A and B are shown apart, each in its own frame.
Chain A
Amino acid sequence: MTAKPVPVPTPETQPFWDGCAEGVLRIQRCADCGRPYFYPRPVCPACGSRNVEWFTASGRATLYSYVINHRPAPGFEDEGPHAIAVVELAEGPRMMTSIVGVPATPETLQLDMPLQVRFERRGDISLPVFGPLEPPGPPGPGEAR
């Protein structure tokens, strides 16, 4: 069976994928106009400045839109119907992703539901995917309530 596609980083996207390998969502913003943006590139799409910097995003997002694909791409045959989604990061930029941890049904996938980034191993790459933002669990020992 064909393997799922594995992204091949380029020099300007390598810091993003390095961040994913470290378990953080590292994206860019303009050091002049302050606007965060995605996908990685060495110029601010809002003002044209080359003075751009990397920062670690919160990993929080909301579900902006999606489809539930019933005709799987090569490598996805075992998935069954699965969500191909676009999420809006808390910082503003949007990215395509998979929604994991919940069944891929219209009932469970509600637009604007809060999500949190997770990472899945794919070849040599850690791929950012999103799952429901877990409600805070019971306090651990010694944790203030």
Chain B
Amino acid sequence: MTGVIIAGAAETDRIGRLPDHSTLQLHIEGALNAVADAGLALRDIDGIATVASPGPVQVAHALGITPGWIDGTGVGGTSFLLHVRHAAAAIRAGYARTVLITHGESGRSRVGAAPFRLAASSPPGQFEAPYGTFGPTTTFTIPVLRYMKEYGLTHEQLAYVAVAQRRWAAKNPRAAFRDPITVEDVLASRMVAYPFHLLECCLVTDGGGALVVTSAERAAEFPEPAVHILGTGESSETPMISQMADFTESGAFRLAGRAAFAEAGIGPSDVDHLMIYDAFAHVPIYGLEALGFTGKGEAGPFIADGNTEPGGSLPLNTNGGGLSYTHTGMYGMFAIQEGVRQLRGEAAAQAGDPQISVILGNGGMFATAAVLVLGRHPR
């Protein structure tokens, strides 16, 4: 365990389509909600972490925070999990006492959002973009046909990932998509990038959220039950999907998971609740296998057999995930938020009485990964 807790956690008031909110405003709203959730005031915050843009300097300044510790790690949608890990280290080292981690992204409305630019002289600019890559739908998706050939994953099993997560979303009033869907619905939805149909791709939304992280010694000081950070891990693999070592598995997922489970002193059988960053339907499959919940090639049938949906043995992506709940572009913050809600017992689709929740975050296209093991109690 790390001796560090999540003392406050909250999302923006609304998520979805928010053309009346800039990117910075989403950060501010999430931050104020999380600080209030912790029963604190902004003057209690002495550390700040977020991604650019707008970045930690802008967010701290907007909130009137003068930080003594700053983390601007920006490695894609999992960055907020890395911020939690780095904040835990900083708090243990005495570099910070109370760290605020913020996310805000006008992913759909693009209000006050940084333009997407790829330099034509960068490695992906020279060796991928000339072939027509255009964001995650054309890159993150490429490995799966190799996985399907090697392990026999069927189109129906891939589609079922979206079906299972919609069953959780149906219980969540904040989820963007709540109507039940079938495998046939998924396979009949518009083709985006074969073999991926629209319903196998995540949403694109506006929203934000924030966390307040501090020492476990202060656990009793806060209005909400503390969520203990039991273990953490991070890694990276490749800046270009074409250079991923093995298209059937994520090395970064595996290494981050191994580090987090080792620090927490747990194995897969100890996990009651799981969040796996799901930008596309294949990512939970890669995640389940990388973390050791199933063997290689078994995760597709595992999901299709109902094990991860309501009533199953391993509740997975219980907010509905990026496929049905929300996906601002850097979804990791929302995965952490749902893990916190489940451990507090306050989730919209509460999955029993979980003691341990594991969050697997992805950054880029299998580029980076981080894993958090969160617990209701210290271990």
Contact = CB atoms under 8 A, between A and B. Distances in A.
A39 interface: yes
Interface residues of B, number: 36
Given A111-B146, A111-B149, A96 B131 contact: yes
A64 B131 contact: no
B121 A10 contact: yes
B362 to A, nearest CB: 18
A122 interface: yes
Interface string A48-88: 00000000000000001111111111111001011011100
A84 B132 contact: yes
Interface in B287-336: none
Contact of B130 (A74, A106, A122): A122
Contact of A68 (B144, B193, B243): B193
A82 B243 CA distance: 21
Interface residues of A, number: 39
A96 to B, nearest CB: 4
Contact of B192 (A66, A71, A106): A71
Chain B residues touching A, majority SS: mixed
B127 A72 contact: no
B132 A98 contact: yes
Task: Pick from B145, B195, B240 the residue with the most CB of A within 10 Å.
Answer: B145
A127 interface: yes
A5 interface: yes
B242 interface: yes
B177 interface: no
Interface of A: 4-10, 13, 39, 64-76, 79, 81-82, 84-86, 94-98, 106, 111, 122, 125, 127, 129
Given A65-B247, A76-B132, A96-B128, 18 more contacts: A6-B120, A7-B121, A9-B126, A13-B126, A39-B126, A64-B146, A67-B194, A68-B191, A68-B194, A69-B132, A70-B191, A75-B132, A84-B138, A84-B139, A86-B247, A94-B243, A97-B131, A125-B130
